[in-house]
Amino acid sequence: MTRLKGKVALITGGSSGIGEATVRLFVEEGASVMVADIQDDRGKRLADELSARAAYVHTDVSQEAHVKAAVDETCRRFGRLDCIFNNAGYGGVGGKIEDVSADGFDATIGVLLRGVFLGMKHAAPVMKKQGAGSIISTASVAGLRTGLGPHIYSAAKAAVIHLTHSVAMELGEHGVRVNCICPGAIATPIFGKSMGLSLEKADEIIPMMKGVLENFQPIKRPGVPDDIARAALWLASDESTFVNGHALVVDGGVIGGRPWSESQLRREKLRSALGLS
């Protein structure tokens, strides 16, 4: 499969979860990929496994120097940058609004919003010079609907969606497309890590999470990292060259409203309560 033959991609948060699935798929489809993450052991192992068309660079996306260095190293090693996938993330600070610390707010925004901004900022001049490129960011359905994530996480993801819309209007004039993906409930280590588990333990509970998440949306199976990776593949490929400023929802229908069967059950209960059944 060669839908990305000859293309070069930089994927942040590329060592696990959605990022790892996307790295593997992009390489399979012919791309050369720079894996950017703070999980050095996992990132190096992944790059080594995938041969000469993959490399690893340590990148804390909240640090501008790190993001610039990752873009520079991608161009140095592979000669160009056709796609950046601003995917790095975590659950961030949680709890009731009065319990959210200012430091927790800053750290969450630093990764989930600042990291996306920095990726866009440093990829833009490279892609503008090329006259082409695809900037993709991981947003969330929590940025579109309330009640699907912690307060600050949700606000950051909403900002990513709007930043995508805004920057797309600028860079589209230079042949550079800017889009984001809004995943629903995807079985990744982020859930376990948000509950205080180590990455290894978070990996171990993924099969259990799949059992829980299979009934979370109208499509009765859990969302998996490959679902998002395939959406990113389409946005990175030449198949989507007329798509710009779009927030692509990949959620099995979770934000569509109440499942039809649930609505019918509620209707029957109401009829019964009113003595109409």
Catalytic residue from among 26, 78, 117, 153: 153
Which pLDDT tens digit goes with each residue over 210-254?
666 767 788 888 888 999 999 999 999 999 999 999 999 999 998
Q: Is the pTM of this model over 0.75?
A: yes
Which pLDDT tens digit goes with each residue over 145-200?
999 999 999 999 999 999 999 999 999 999 999 999 999 988 776 655 555 555 55
pLDDT for 220 equals 84
The CA-based angle 125-106-137, given to 5 degrees, is 40
Catalytic annotation present for 56: no
pLDDT exceeds 70 at position 104 = yes
DSSP the chain: --TTTT-EEEEETTTSHHHHHHHHHHHHTT-EEEEEES-HHHHHHHHHHTGGGEEEEE--TTSHHHHHHHHHHHHHHHS--SEEEE--------S-GGG--HHHHHHHHIIIIIHHHHHHHHHHHHHHHHT-EEEEEE--GGGTSTTSS-HHHHHHHHHHHHHHHHHHHHHGGGTEEEEEEEE-SB-SHHHHHHTT--HHHHHHTHHHHHHHHTTSSSSSS-B-HHHHHHHHHHHHSGGGTT--S-EEEESTTGGG-S-HHHHHHHHHHHHHHTT--
Q: Which residue has the higher pLDDT, 83 or 258?
A: 83
Q: Which CATH number fits domain 8-273: 3.50.30.60, 3.30.2130.10, 2.40.110.10, 3.40.50.720?
A: 3.40.50.720
Distances (CA, A) of 171 to 82, 105, 163: 14, 29, 12
Report how far residue 83's alpha carbon sits from residue 75's, in angstroms, rounded to the nearest whole number: 11
Tell me the domain boundaries of the chain: 8-273
Q: Token pair of 146, please?
A: 């309330």
Report how far residue 212's alpha carbon sits from residue 271's, in angstroms, rounded to the nearest whole number: 30
